[in-house]
Amino acid sequence: MEIKFSGSRWRQIEKAYRRDSDSQVIAPAATLAHMAWTLGISSDRLAETGRADATEILRELERSKAPAAEPAPEAAPLAALEEWQQKVILNVLDERPRSAKEKALLLRTLAAQIEAESAGQGDPDKPPMQTVQNIPGRSAS
């Protein structure tokens, strides 16, 4: 849930006072939680203010918007190649202009081929890495 409000509303909440009506301003719980989130204030710190309603919303924001944990790195098949082989692959990538998406696709395809060959699933009648020519963005030589 995203909350949008103007800068003047933000200032009213900060000052706890609304000048045009001479009235006290108390931020709604969701608004206060989003303000705290924007400022990087933790839910523990917000809890010190006594606003349990806003604290619970901020805790939920922290849980839902926390960056996802990165999967544990597995053995990188391209890292298993010798240095000269890695250089050949990088040179092929730089042979002609490619988008980052094309380069990523090429590397994923090569990695899949290396994994298949190392697991003995490659075609025994084909020499290793023969299918590189069929990778999108790679012209046959």
pLDDT per residue as tens digits for the range 91-136: 777 777 777 788 778 778 877 887 787 777 655 555 554 444 444 4
- What is this structure's pTM? 0.45
pLDDT of residue 134: 46
pLDDT confidence tier of residue 70, bands split at 50, 70 and 90: low
Quick check: 33 and 57 in contact, CB under 8 A?
A: yes
Residues 47 and 87 placed together within one structural domain of the fold: no
Quick check: 40 and 15 in contact, CB under 8 A?
A: no
Residue corresponding to tokens 């050949």: 88
Which residues lie below 8 Å from residue 23, measured CB to CB, with a gap of 6+? 17
Residue 71 lies in a domain: no
Nearest CA-CA partner of 41 in 17, 27, 49, 64: 49
Residues 82 and 61 placed together within one structural domain of the fold: no
Residues 59 and 100 placed together within one structural domain of the fold: no
pLDDT of residue 56: 95
What's the total number of domains in the chain?
2
Which residues in 14-82 belong to E strands, given as ranges?
17-18, 23-24
Residue 85 lies in a domain: yes
pLDDT of residue 140: 45
Domain range holding 111? Answer: 78-134
Q: How far apart are the first and last CA of the chain?
A: 53
Residue 99 lies in a domain: yes
Residue 70 lies in a domain: no
Quick check: 64 and 91 in contact, CB under 8 A?
A: no
Residues 101 and 58 placed together within one structural domain of the fold: no
Residues 18 and 61 placed together within one structural domain of the fold: yes
pLDDT of residue 138: 46
Q: Which long-range contacts (CB under 8 A, 24 or more apart) does 88-93 make?
A: 92/132, 92/138
